[in-house]
Amino acid sequence: MRYRVTVGDNQHMVEIEQDGQGWRASLDGTPLALDRAQVNPGHFSLLVGTRSFEVFARPLPVEGDSQPFEVFMDGVPLVAEVVDERRHALASLGRGHGESGEVTVKAPMPGLVVGVLVAPGDTVERGQRVAVLEAMKMQNDLLAPRAGVVRAVKADKGQAVNQGQPLVVIGDPEGPTAETDEEE
pLDDT at 176 > cutoff 70: no
Domain that holds residue 33: 2-85
Based on the fold, state whether residues 8 and 79 are members of the same structural domain.
yes
pLDDT average, residue stretch 133-159: 89
Radius of gyration of the CA atoms of the chain, in A: 20
Mean pLDDT over 31-43 rounds to: 89
Structure confidence at residue 152 as a pLDDT band (50, 70, 90):
very high
Same domain, 10 and 77: yes
The CATH number that applies at residue 78 is 3.30.700.30
Euclidean distance between CA atoms 42 and 52, whole angstroms: 17
Q: Which pLDDT score, from 0 to 100, does residue 67 have?
A: 82
CB-based contact 72:122 (threshold 8 Å): no
80 shares a domain with 140: no
CATH number (domain holding residue 125): 2.40.50.100
When pLDDT is cut at 50, 70 and 90, the band that residue 160 belongs to is very high
**Is the model's pLDDT at 125 over the cut of 50?**
yes
Measured CA to CA in angstroms, residue 20 lies from 17, 29, 57, 77, 102 at distances of 10, 22, 26, 33, 46
Strands in 148-153's sheet, in edge-to-edge order, are 103-106, 166-171, 148-153, 123-124
What is the structure's pLDDT at 182?
Answer: 46
- What's the whole-number average pLDDT of the chain? 83
Confidence of residue 64 (pLDDT cuts 50, 70, 90): low
Q: Is pLDDT above 50 for 153?
A: yes
Residue-level length of the chain? 184
Tell me what pLDDT residue 124 has: 93
Last residue of a domain, one of 34, 60, 85: 85
- With beta carbons less than 8 A apart as the criterion, state whether 178 and 151 touch: yes
What's the pLDDT at 65?
Answer: 67
pLDDT > 60? residue 149: yes
Q: Give the 3-state secondary structure of residue 88.
A: helix
State the number of CA atoms in the 13 A half-sphere of 162 facing the CB.
2
Same domain, 30 and 46: yes
Report if residue 182 sits inside a domain: no
Pairing assessment for the beta strands 67-73 and 76-84 based on DSSP bridges: antiparallel
In this structure, are residues 80 and 69 in contact, taking their beta carbons and an 8 Å threshold? Answer: yes
In 2-135, at which residue ranges do the beta strands (DSSP E only) sit? Answer: 2-7, 10-19, 22-27, 30-40, 43-48, 51-59, 67-73, 76-84, 103-106, 111-116, 123-124, 129-135
14 and 77 share one domain: yes
Mean pLDDT confidence for 131-154: 88
% pLDDT > 90, the chain: 34
Residues 101, 70 share a domain: no
> With 60 as the cut, is the pLDDT of residue 31 above it?
yes
